């Protein structure tokens, strides 16, 4: 016997159809380009093929005569096409700013992506291919490269392997040795939990193995990151991710369907790449970089613990020069804790290195 549809079931069906229609329409939704006033300005949002996969980039700047700054986002799996535009808008007055949602992330995410292609080596190759594309497109010899958090893994790798392509490498929250970092991060949240007598935190954290080798490593990592966020190791000025979600939801770079898929891209990228990231040890594998290197370090960063970055900086052989720049009011996410200061420091890097390049 067939069931008789009730008003409630009909309401659910109608709601589901409306959501389906909205998501379908959103998949085709594209906003008008954000305004660039200058005659020589550029503002594009486009797909290009990298490593056989179509991937989204945005390119914005007040003048195409300015040097290129390529930003490698964190995560892995973050969606950051709008981060620099909103947090550091002055960068577009001094650079052609290129943002890129990497394979498996943000606007580039696709449920049909072959997960076996989501490797550190492949993303390094994608990065280099993008740099070559930008050099050819703008007829330049070099670009500036900036990596944030996970983005510092391909970032430092590129700076070491292809110095001829890079004016300077800017590192924000450099990953050095994740096995050491995760132990320090867990030690930090455990210490704060003890100091604040937070029984819930202690109960949840005591079960965690910071090597993240068990079958339920993802669940354990999410618990640790929850308390790291709560205890100020991610942001110094915030204790939720709501502002990041709000930025992505409002950003004209993303459609509603991009926003809906964002958590899937983030989770799937992290699950695929984190075991590989845990094997990284730049203390051993990259001991010299032949381009100028700038390390931006948050004083309260316990996501990529500041002490490991400082130790790596002290040991790194950098014949072209190196600087470590402290952000006294920041944790890991300096772009949110001190956005004006980080923009100023990035522009200062440009002024130092580009002026010397033009003189030569």
Query: Is the pLDDT score of 196 beyond 50?
Result: yes
Asked if 202 and 189 count as a contact pair (C-beta separation under 8 A), the reply is no
Q: What is the mean pLDDT of the chain?
A: 91
139 versus 356: the higher-pLDDT residue is: 139
Query: How many Cα atoms within 13 Å fall on the side-chain side of residue 55?
Result: 23
Domain range summary for the chain, segments of one domain joined by +: 42-179+239-359
Asked if 306 and 298 count as a contact pair (C-beta separation under 8 A), the reply is yes
Taking CA atoms, 277 is separated from 4, 75, 111, 223, 226, in Å, by 54, 11, 22, 19, 20
**Residue of 90, 87, 93 whose CA lies nearest to 42:** 93
How would DSSP label each residue in 118-137? -SHHHHHHHHHHHHHHHHHH
Give the pLDDT confidence of 39-55 residue by residue, as tens digits: 789 999 999 999 999 99
Taking CA atoms, 31 is separated from 40, 250, 251, in Å, by 22, 11, 10
What pLDDT sits at residue 357?
57
- pLDDT interval class at 356 (50, 70, 90): low
Torsion angle defined by CA atoms of residues 347, 33, 127 and 324, in that order, rounded to the nearest 10 degrees: 20
Q: What's the CA angle centered on 108, arms 105 and 109, to 5 degrees?
A: 60
Percent of the chain surpassing pLDDT 90: 86
Give the pLDDT confidence of 283-333 residue by residue, as tens digits: 999 999 999 999 999 999 999 999 999 999 999 999 999 999 999 999 999
Compute how many other C-beta atoms are within 10 angstroms of the C-beta atom of residue 236. Answer: 22
Taking CA atoms, 245 is separated from 127, 153, 179, in Å, by 26, 24, 29
Taking CA atoms, 232 is separated from 3, 183, 229, 236, 353, in Å, by 54, 17, 6, 5, 34
Looking at the chain, which runs of residues are DSSP E strands? 42-50, 53-61, 68-72, 96-101, 143-148, 166-172, 293-298, 322-327
Looking at domain 42-179+239-359, its CATH architecture is 3-Layer(aba) Sandwich (3.40)
Asked if 302 and 187 count as a contact pair (C-beta separation under 8 A), the reply is no
Query: Is the pLDDT score of 1 beyond 70?
Result: no
Query: Is the pLDDT score of 33 beyond 90?
Result: no
Distance CA 303, CA 301 (A): 6
Give the pLDDT confidence of 135-172 residue by residue, as tens digits: 999 999 999 999 999 999 999 999 999 999 999 999 99
Asked if 156 and 120 count as a contact pair (C-beta separation under 8 A), the reply is no
């Amino acid at each position: 016997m067939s069931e008789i549809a009730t008003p409630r079931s009909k309401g659910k069906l109608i709601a589901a159809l409306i959501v389906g229609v909205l998501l379908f329409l959103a998949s085709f939704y594209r906003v008008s380009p954000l305004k660039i006033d200058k005659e020589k300005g550029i503002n594009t949002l486009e797909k290009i093929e990298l490593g056989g996969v179509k991937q989204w980039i945005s390119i914005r700047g007040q003048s195409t005569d300015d040097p290129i700054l390529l930003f490698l986002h964190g995560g892995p799996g973050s969606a950051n096409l709008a981060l620099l535009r909103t947090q550091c808008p002055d960068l577009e007055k001094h650079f052609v700013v290129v943002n890129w949602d990497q394979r498996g992330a943000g606007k580039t995410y696709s449920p049909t992506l072959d997960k076996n292609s989501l490797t550190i080596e492949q993303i390094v190759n994608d990065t280099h291919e993008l740099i070559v594309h930008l050099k050819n497109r703008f007829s330049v010899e070099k670009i500036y490269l900036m990596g944030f958090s996970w983005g510092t893994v391909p970032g430092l790798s590129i700076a070491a392997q292809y110095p001829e392509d890079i004016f300077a490498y800017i590192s924000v929250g450099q990953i050095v040795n994740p096995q050491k970092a995760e132990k320090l991060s867990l030690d930090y949240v455990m210490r704060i939990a003890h100091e604040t007598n937070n029984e819930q935190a202690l109960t949840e954290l005591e079960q965690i193995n910071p090597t993240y080798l068990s079958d339920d490593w993802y669940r354990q990592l999410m618990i640790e990151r929850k308390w790291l966020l709560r205890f100020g190791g991610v942001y110094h000025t915030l204790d939720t991710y709501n502002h990041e979600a709000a930025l992505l939801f409002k950003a004209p770079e993303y459609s509603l369907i991009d926003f809906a898929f964002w958590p899937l891209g983030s989770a799937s990228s992290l699950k695929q790449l984190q075991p590989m990231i845990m094997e990284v040890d730049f203390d051993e594998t990259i001991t010299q970089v032949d381009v100028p290197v700038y390390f931006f370090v948050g004083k309260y960063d316990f996501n990529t613990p500041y002490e490991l970055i400082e130790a790596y900086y002290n040991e790194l052989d950098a014949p072209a020069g190196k600087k470590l720049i402290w952000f006294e009011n920041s944790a890991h996410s300096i772009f949110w804790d001190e956005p004006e200061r980080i923009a100023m420091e990035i522009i200062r890097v440009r002024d130092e290195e580009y002026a010397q390049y033009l003189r030569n």
